[in-house]
Amino acid sequence: MQESKQQPEQRETPQLRGLYSKVKISVRTLNIIIVVLVVLLIACMAYGISKGGFRVSFDTQGGTPVEMQSGIMYGEKIEPPEEPTREGFAFDGWYLDPDGTVAFDAASDPVTESMTLYAGWRENVISQNI
């Protein structure tokens, strides 16, 4: 009886390319593209940091001036500025619009872009006894 030597089956294993499996471009080229995109992302971040973040300016609408705050990063809160004064009026807080309809709370509202805050005023009522 003759024993036949069986050769183990050799299968071709597919090349594992992960995310690149459906793309008809070489892995080397894709790696170069990824490196370039990472460098661009870092450059964009460096540019944003060098610009000093966002700026918040204050329009007192006839009151005493308030200094602008800059260098505020996304999501940070501003330092509450000193309240402005205006003759005949009482300061009513900071608002996102000149008409004073959307209030801004410096202690809880984060900064997500450069903005101008507007002072809200209410007229002082002086009672006179006749």
The three-state secondary structure class of 54 is: strand
- Over its length of 130 residues, how does the chain's per-residue pLDDT go in tens digits? 555 566 656 666 556 666 666 767 787 888 899 999 999 999 988 877 676 788 999 999 999 999 999 888 888 999 989 999 999 999 999 999 999 899 999 888 999 999 999 999 999 877 556 5
Q: pLDDT at position 19, please?
A: 65
Residue pair 52/69 in contact by the 8 Å Cβ criterion: no
Residue pair 84/66 in contact by the 8 Å Cβ criterion: yes
Whole-number Cα distances in Å, 57 to 9, 108, 119, 123: 75, 18, 11, 24
Q: pLDDT at position 27, please?
A: 78
Q: pLDDT at position 111, please?
A: 92
**Residues 6+ away with beta carbon under 8 Å from 92:** 100, 119, 120, 121, 122
DSSP for 97-127 reads: STTS-SEE-TTTPPP-S-EEEEEEEEEPP--
The three-state secondary structure class of 27 is: helix
For 104, other C-beta atoms within 10 Å of its C-beta total: 18
Q: pLDDT at position 10, please?
A: 61
Residue pair 110/76 in contact by the 8 Å Cβ criterion: yes
Which residue type sits at 109? D
